[in-house]
Structure 1
Amino acid sequence: MAVEETNSSQNIQQQQEQGCDPCKSFGQKCSHLVKKQRAKFYILRRCIAMLLCWHERGEH
């Protein structure tokens, strides 16, 4: 019995570390995805802004 409990707790920990938690509600999954997309768009905006500023400074 103790071995099965240890294995199941290890499996749960591995799933949580990988970001795959089957017990999460639909709302929690959606909010997690929205946060990831916001972060990606933020990085993209920053990169574009840096490229535009670099291009403008290169002309002077």
Structure 2
Amino acid sequence: MGEQKQQLKSSAYGPSKRKGHGFTRKCASLVKEQRARIYILRRCATVLLCWYIHGDD
């Protein structure tokens, strides 16, 4: 009877938690990637703007 309860616990909570964590992890990864892209674009825009402003000197 103890084994049966343990099997129910692991099957009831195991897969659903993994799916939730997988989705959360994937979303976090996508957000991180987008933030990195925005950071790079912002740095490039800043460099180009500085070259434009200081290019007349």
* Greater per-residue helix proportion: 2
Superposition misfits of 4+ residues, deviation over 4 angstroms: none
- Structure 1 gaps, min length 5: 1-22
**Identity percentage over the alignment?**
53
Tell me the alpha carbon deviations over residues 15-38 of structure 1, each in whole angstroms, 9 at most, x when there is no partner: xxxxxxxx7611000000000000
- Normalization by structure 1: what TM-score? 0.58
In the alignment of these two chains, the number of paired residues is 38
Alignment-derived partner of residue 22 in structure 2 = 25
Supply the distance in 2 between the matched residues of 1:38 and 1:29 (Cα, whole angstroms). Answer: 14
- Structure 2 gaps, min length 5: 1-18
Larger radius of gyration: 2
- Normalization by structure 2: what TM-score? 0.61
Q: Report SS of the residue matched to 1:59.
A: coil
